[in-house]
Amino acid sequence: MPVVDVDPDELRRLAGHEEKSEEDLLDDLFELGLEFEGETEAGELQLEFEADRLDRLSVEGIARSLRYQYGDDRGVYVPPTNAPEWTIAVDESVPEQRPYVTGAVVRGLDIDERGLDSLLQLQEKLHATMGRGRAKGAIGVHDLAMLKGQARKDGDANSIAYRGVEPNGDSFVPLDSDAELTPREVLTEHPTGDTYADLVAGYERYPAIYDDLGLFSFPPVINGRRTEVSPGSRELLIEMTGTDQWTIDRMCAILCYALSARGATIERVTVAYPDRELDRPDFAVGEKRVTHDRIERTLGVGFEKREVIDLLERSGLDASVEHDGDERDGLDGATGDASASADPTDAGDLTYAVSIPPYRVDVLHPVDVIDDVGRAHGFNELEPRYPAVGTVGGRGERSRHERAVRETLVGLGFQDLLNFHLTSGAEVFERMGLAPDDSASTPAGDPGAPGSPLGAAPPATIREPYSRAYTIVRTWALPSLLQVLEHNTHRSYPQDLAEVGLAARVDPETETGVAERRTVAAVLARTDASYEDAKARLRALARAFGAELETPPTEHPSFIEGRAASVMLDGERAGIVGELHPRVLVEHDLELPVAAFECRLDALR
């Protein structure tokens, strides 16, 4: 979850409550869902919050939410904007992978070092969240005073251009550099270029922004040094490029709201695509219609109409009654349990048209508006009730079967284990003496397939594993039990261990391509462990489930030759029983014999 560093004094100032103690402030923030994580060295609050309210990625946005919470502000606020004097002209040469741009001009800015840091933090957090690491949207902030733009044609505004540049085309001096570099040189020679090179990999032309003096920004990679913003900057040009117009417009709105909250004036820009013109930033207020009935049903309480409107306004939204289907206005009197009047006709068609400010990127559906009503009302104010819904519960058959087998094994003296399903090829193959070749052929390793060693199946394999120890899903369970024995050689013997768990193998015949099965595995590690010990227990287990056990001799690389048998349950090949090969024991640092068996759970029925 995102974490934002916030200067508490600035937050108090922007929220208009300089008197708030830190403790009160933190309580108020928790109410908003912002959790205090700690303090930075500079004494800033580190606040963690959920990734839906991206308008709270800055101190300005958090202050705005606090003002609504305190009731100091109500309803939708849209900052005033001035008419455009600048145009961003989109050239046909813009790379097709990144066709969209938006922007704004900011004037009358008065920020100090801290304000600038806050701006940069917001930019960075927007990149990390909505911008998907700059891939979907990247922000460039420039000192407008350093830009020189001419009108495209007479009577038109000043203009800059978004276009494509050949990799070895025009050069510019990027931030944190003294040298003039071409875009390709930036990607190979500049540390920032190196970091973001993947984002433009495969581009024939790179995105570039030009003014009259030339290339000054190479989105989404790096800006030029010429237009770098400093605390002395008073006027800014903001441009954002990306793969989706809506996304960059929302990012732009969030940034402009923050700058406006610092007293700056927002001036619109014209984004001129070859086929259309846009007036930006897009501060259009959205609308969702939500019925009174839906609010009451979801929250489980009755509200009066004015209460709902009040709660919405306190959430920074506006609401008007769009369609008051109930002329009696009876709802103003209706309180208490909504389920008592759950019939929608009771509520008529009372519907609110709710205005959504442009920074609220999280409101997709009327339910999101209902959530705001609930938050403003206080969810913890609601009385829990057990739903009066009758259903008959029960376990699944497989789960009952698994439990019964596990209980039988414990009755036979086994310690029940719970091992990871994730493991490595080394554990399930090499260390068990299974030749890796065995896993190549399909359908090898299926306990039901004659002549293939149990476990030697092609494993479901993780694409990008966490570590070499966890690269596949285990093909059989005995290797896990051997690992437990290996880690417990300092503990007293006998160690009789068993597990009922999952094993899987690649099988194109199944729905997912992975054949998952429940497997029953057991080991007896004791100074005199023998084949007979294992078979005796397996026989008891089979008998308990009414399955007839036969054990014709077989060969398996993990077992001693002549001391391994196929487990046949009711005539079906289901697994293996035998004494583990000394090679396998020594590999696991074991100094005593181990007898073992493993079979399919579903054969025990």
- Residue ranges in 479-508 that form contacts with other proteins under rule CB under 8 A: 480, 483-484, 487-488, 491-492, 495-498, 502, 504, 506, 508
**468 binds other proteins, rule: CB under 8 A:** no
**Residue with smaller CB distance to other proteins, 140 or 459:** 459
**336 binds other proteins, rule: CB under 8 A:** no
**Residue with smaller CB distance to other proteins, 288 or 573:** 288
Footprint on residues 22-41 left by other proteins (CB under 8 A):
33
Q: How far apart are CB 488 and other proteins at their closest, in Å?
A: 4
**596 binds other proteins, rule: CB under 8 A:** no
**Residue with smaller CB distance to other proteins, 168 or 399:** 399
**383 binds other proteins, rule: CB under 8 A:** yes
**Pick from 240, 264, 276, 314: which is nearest to 68 by CA?**
314
**412 binds other proteins, rule: CB under 8 A:** yes
For residues 6 and 45, the answer to whether their CB atoms sit within 8 Å is yes
Residue from 43, 306, 328, 466 in contact with other proteins (CB under 8 A)? 466
For residues 94 and 164, the answer to whether their CB atoms sit within 8 Å is yes
**51 binds other proteins, rule: CB under 8 A:** yes
Footprint on residues 506-565 left by other proteins (CB under 8 A):
506, 508, 511-514, 516
For residues 435 and 583, the answer to whether their CB atoms sit within 8 Å is no
With contacts defined by CB under 8 A, name the span among 85-93, 157-165, 372-380, 437-445 that binds other proteins: 372-380
**Pick from 598, 603, 605: which is nearest to 457 by CA?**
598
**406 binds other proteins, rule: CB under 8 A:** yes
**What separation, in Å, do the N-terminal and C-terminal C-alpha atoms of the chain show?**
48
**Residue with smaller CB distance to other proteins, 52 or 349:** 52
Residue 388 one-letter amino acid: A
**Residue with smaller CB distance to other proteins, 324 or 362:** 362
Q: How far apart are CB 387 and other proteins at their closest, in Å?
A: 4
With contacts defined by CB under 8 A, name the span among 174-182, 283-291, 431-439, 526-534 that binds other proteins: 283-291
Where b means 16+ CB within 10 Å and e means fewer, 426-441 reads: ebbbebbbbeeebbee
**110 binds other proteins, rule: CB under 8 A:** no
**301 binds other proteins, rule: CB under 8 A:** yes
DSSP assignment string, 107-120:
ES----HHHHHHHH
Footprint on residues 216-245 left by other proteins (CB under 8 A):
244
**Residue with smaller CB distance to other proteins, 213 or 321:** 321
**Residue with smaller CB distance to other proteins, 428 or 564:** 428
Distances (CA, A) of 205 to 95, 101, 202, 213, 220: 6, 16, 9, 20, 13
For residues 67 and 140, the answer to whether their CB atoms sit within 8 Å is no
Alpha-carbon gap, residue 405 to 428, rounded angstroms: 24
Residue from 34, 473, 541, 567 in contact with other proteins (CB under 8 A)? 473
In the beta sheet, which residues pair with residue 522? 498, 597
* 539-544 LR contacts (CB < 8 Å, sep 24+): 540/408, 540/412, 541/405, 541/408, 541/409, 541/412, 541/604, 542/569, 542/604, 544/408
Residue from 156, 277, 407, 591 in contact with other proteins (CB under 8 A)? 407
Residue from 19, 92, 379, 468 in contact with other proteins (CB under 8 A)? 379
Alpha-carbon gap, residue 374 to 300, rounded angstroms: 10
Residue from 12, 67, 226, 288 in contact with other proteins (CB under 8 A)? 288
**3 binds other proteins, rule: CB under 8 A:** no
Q: How far apart are CB 158 and other proteins at their closest, in Å?
A: 30
Residue from 5, 10, 28, 52 in contact with other proteins (CB under 8 A)? 52
Considering CB under 8 A, how many residues would be counted as binding other proteins? 100
**107 binds other proteins, rule: CB under 8 A:** no
Q: How far apart are CB 385 and other proteins at their closest, in Å?
A: 4
Residue from 39, 156, 416, 532 in contact with other proteins (CB under 8 A)? 416
Residue from 191, 336, 390, 450 in contact with other proteins (CB under 8 A)? 390
Q: How far apart are CB 135 and other proteins at their closest, in Å?
A: 8
CA 432, distance to chain mean position in Å, is 38
Residue 16 one-letter amino acid: G
Residue from 122, 272, 308, 370 in contact with other proteins (CB under 8 A)? 370
For residue 490, what is the DSSP state?
Answer: T
Structural tokens at position 478: 């005995």
For residue 380, what is the DSSP state?
Answer: G
**50 binds other proteins, rule: CB under 8 A:** yes
For residues 29 and 78, the answer to whether their CB atoms sit within 8 Å is no
DSSP assignment string, 318-367:
EEEEEE---TT-GGGT--SBGGGG--GGGGTT-EEEEEE-TT-TT--SHH
243: left (phi over 0), alpha (psi -120 to 50) or beta: alpha
Site string for other proteins, 133-172 (x = CB under 8 A): ---x------------------------------------
Q: How far apart are CB 40 and other proteins at their closest, in Å?
A: 23
Instruction: Tell how strand 286-291 and strand 265-272 pair up.
Output: unpaired
For residues 281 and 251, the answer to whether their CB atoms sit within 8 Å is no
Alpha-carbon gap, residue 224 to 543, rounded angstroms: 79
Alpha-carbon Rg for the chain in angstroms: 34
Measured in residues, the chain has a length of 605
* Beta strand segments in 91-234, E: 100-107, 137-143, 150-151, 158-165, 206-211, 214-218, 222-223
**339 binds other proteins, rule: CB under 8 A:** yes
Q: How far apart are CB 346 and other proteins at their closest, in Å?
A: 13
**292 binds other proteins, rule: CB under 8 A:** no
Residue from 342, 435, 440, 586 in contact with other proteins (CB under 8 A)? 342
Residue from 13, 365, 583, 605 in contact with other proteins (CB under 8 A)? 365
**394 binds other proteins, rule: CB under 8 A:** yes
Residue from 23, 391, 509, 571 in contact with other proteins (CB under 8 A)? 391
**198 binds other proteins, rule: CB under 8 A:** no
Q: How far apart are CB 165 and other proteins at their closest, in Å?
A: 25
**Residue with smaller CB distance to other proteins, 44 or 496:** 496
**440 binds other proteins, rule: CB under 8 A:** no
